[in-house]
Amino acid sequence: MPIERIFASQKVDSLHGTKNKIVQVDSNAIPAQAFNVLIDNRIQSVPVYDLVANKYSGFLDIRDLVSFTVFINDNNVQAQTLLDIVNFGVKMFKHPTDVSITYLSRRNPFNSVTLGSPLLKVVEILSKGTHRVPIVDENNKLVDIISQSSIISFIEKNIGVDILPSLDKKISELKDLGVSPVTSVTTNVKAIDVFRLMDTHQRSGVAIVDENNKLVGTISSEDLKLFINNPSTDVLQLTIMKFLSCIRQLNNSESIHCATGHDTRQGYQYYRYS
C-alpha cells in the first residue's frame, strides 16, 4: 500500500490524545504575558483566540522575539528582562500602541483541520513548511495540535521498510533528501548577527560550521527560549559559540543530532525521537 494511501485511510483522530494539554491565550492578554506562556510551558508557539471575532487569529511565535531583539540592538537599547524586549520591541511597528497579541499572531496563520479528516491533509500542510497543525472539533474548538514530530512518530510505529523501502536506504542514496540549502554561520560570527539571519529568513534554527564547513553545533528554538528566559543584550555581542555556552549553562542542553550519508532514515528517526 503506497504511503499516501495509509495517510489517507487514517483519520487525524488516530493521533489525537484526549489527555493532551492544550495551551492557548486569548486576546485579553498583553504581549508580555503571552510570551511568558511560551517560556513557562517550554513551547515555541501558542494559539491566540480572538474574543471579539470569536475565532482563532493565529499563533504567537517565539521567532517574534527574535525580531524584537534585533530591533532593540539596532536602536542601542539595553534590555535585561522579557518585559524590556517586548515593550521596546513593539515600537518596530508603525502604531506600537495598537500592537496586540491578536495582531502579532496574524503573522502565523491558524490553518486548522477538523476531527474526522484524513491524516493526509495534515501531512500536506506540514509539507509546505508549517511546523504545527491545529485540530478542531465540529464547534471549531481547539482539541489538539499535531506537529512534524507526531507524524514521524506515526511513521516509526506504523510504516515499515516493506511499505516504505527508502527507510532502509542510506541518506546519500536518496536524491530528494538532504539536498536543500542549509542556513549556516561560522563559529566566529556574533550572536546578534545570527539572530538577524534567523529573522531575515524566518528560521528558528541555524547550523554552525567551522572553517572547514564541518558542522560543530546548532542554535535552535530551545536556545532562544533559554535566552529569553534570562535575556541580556550584552551577550548578543559574543561569538555564537560563546553565546550558546553562556546561555546553556542555565540548563543541561542536549547534544546535537547529526546524520551522516551512511545512516538510514529509519535509524536516524529512531535515535532522534527516542
Asked if residue 166 lies in contact with residue 153, where contact means CB atoms within 8 angstroms, the answer is: no
Which residues, given as ranges, of the chain have pLDDT below 70? 1, 17-20, 96-98, 178, 250-274
Q: How far is CA 269 from each of CA 117, 167, 172, 219, rounded to the nearest angstrom?
A: 26, 9, 15, 20
pTM, full prediction: 0.78
User: What pLDDT does 18 receive?
Assistant: 52
Domain that holds residue 222: 169-274
User: What pLDDT does 218 receive?
Assistant: 95
> Cβ atoms within 10 A of the Cβ of 88, count?
18
Cell of 239: 561569538
Among 272, 228, 223, which residue's Cα sits nearest to residue 249?
223
Among 63, 102, 67, 107, which residue's Cα sits nearest to residue 88?
67
User: What pLDDT does 114 receive?
Assistant: 96
- Kindly state whether residue 215 falls inside one of the protein's structural domains: yes
Q: How far is CA 37 from each of CA 98, 157, 203, rounded to the nearest angstrom?
A: 21, 32, 21
Q: What's the domain count of the chain?
A: 2
| Domain end among 158, 192, 225 | 158
Task: Answer yes or no: do 20 and 84 share one domain.
Answer: yes
User: What pLDDT does 203 receive?
Assistant: 87
The enclosing domain of 32 has a CATH number of: 3.10.580.10
Task: Answer yes or no: do 264 and 141 share one domain.
Answer: no
User: What pLDDT does 19 receive?
Assistant: 56
